[in-house]
Amino acid sequence: MQRRPTLEDVAERAGVSRALVSIVMRDVAGASERTRERLRRAADEIGYRPDPRARRLRQQRTKLIGVTFTPGQEFHADLVDGVYAAAEEMGYDVVLSGPQMPAGELTELAGQVPVVAVARRIRGVDAVRSDDVAGVVLAMDHLLGLGHRRILYLDGGRAPGAAERRRGYRRAARAAQLSELTLPGGLTEREGAAAASAMLVWSELPSATFAFNDRCALGVMDLLIRSGIAVPQRVSVIGFDDSPLAGMAHIDLTTIRQDSTGLAQAAVQRLVARLDDVDVEPGAVDITCEPTLIVRGSTAPPTV
């Protein structure tokens, strides 16, 4: 008996994502008319027809998406705003829950209902995240291009994305034949200031400091300036996230921008695809979005 064509088959035929095919077949916003025509033509060519079981399931749904998160960075707030916008565009409402769920609980929950993790990787769960390794490599390439050779990395510990960013720093340092120079950095301004204090007792300061996130970078900048060390003339500073504060004129922080809107849209589309399709392929997917370098005034060529 011939297998019934699925959305995955249509996506493969048209060379697009499965989530985009789902948007077109459900006739919701998110695709151009030209794309809709191309995907409907691909569906006709392979004989795809919507599964009536999926339609019945959709009719019984509450159209609610649950979001659980612990607010700790402005980037998280941007993500939630993006989820609201993407969900509204696709006809869903959002329910927020504050407490953060451990990875084990999320994995268990994913066995019962569709789950998508955003900005973190969890085994057995769909994930939508920035390519943290690529982001760090972008930052290191920028500093190396300015001529920096003594680059301190302030690590994020056990935070989501920290292991990948650590790997990116090590990869870039090895490629440039640099000695690795690291300190615990953390996620907050206070932790960044503490790292900068530890750095100040060294006999030789780094020419550049790369912080795990923007908040940590701001703590570094504040402590350095209070200690009479000019940024970027003496020490360049770069962050990660591109939070709203980073772009303020008196801060002017060079940073790596995470596409919060793109991450939110991809996460909602993946979740809706899971909800709408009874024939969804098994197994978790890992969707990555490319970050970008935002150059501002906190980085410059080393003076010595």
pLDDT per residue as tens digits for the range 104-114: 777 777 777 78
**Pick from 270, 154, 126: nearest CA to 212:** 154
Contact between 234 and 303 (Cβ < 8 Å)? yes
Helix (H, G, I), strand (E, B) or coil at 22: helix
User: What pLDDT is recorded for position 55?
Assistant: 58
Of 3-12, 222-231, 250-259, the one with minimum mean pLDDT is 3-12
**Distance (Å, whole) CA 214 – CA 58:** 41
More confident residue, 34 or 108: 34
User: What pLDDT is recorded for position 87?
Assistant: 87
58: pLDDT strictly greater than 70: no
Contact between 113 and 270 (Cβ < 8 Å)? no
User: What pLDDT is recorded for position 125?
Assistant: 86
Strand order in the sheet with 151-155: 181-184, 151-155, 208-211, 236-238
Angle (nearest 5°) at CA 291 between 95 and 65: 15
CATH classification code of 61-127+260-289: 3.40.50.2300
183: pLDDT strictly greater than 50: yes
pLDDT (mean) for 248-274: 91
282: pLDDT strictly greater than 60: no
User: What pLDDT is recorded for position 302?
Assistant: 95
User: What pLDDT is recorded for position 101?
Assistant: 73
Neighbours of 96 (CB within 10 A): 12
Band of pLDDT at residue 170, cut at 50, 70 and 90: very high
User: What pLDDT is recorded for position 64?
Assistant: 80
Residues 6 or more apart whose Cβ sits within 8 Å of residue 239: 211, 213, 214, 215, 216, 217, 218, 246, 253, 254, 255, 256
The residues of the chain that CATH labels 3.40.50.2300 are: 61-127+260-289, 132-258
More confident residue, 219 or 270: 219
Angle (nearest 5°) at CA 246 between 241 and 249: 160
Class of domain 132-258: alpha beta
pLDDT (mean) for 50-70: 67
1: pLDDT strictly greater than 60: no
Neighbours of 288 (CB within 10 A): 17
Detail the DSSP E strand segments found in 69-140. Answer: 93-97, 116-118, 126-130
99: pLDDT strictly greater than 70: no
pLDDT (mean) for 23-37: 80
Band of pLDDT at residue 56, cut at 50, 70 and 90: low
Query: Is pTM, for the whole model, over 0.85?
Result: no
pLDDT (mean) for 170-194: 96
User: What pLDDT is recorded for position 181?
Assistant: 97
| Mean residue pLDDT across the chain | 87
278: pLDDT strictly greater than 80: no
Contact between 45 and 300 (Cβ < 8 Å)? no
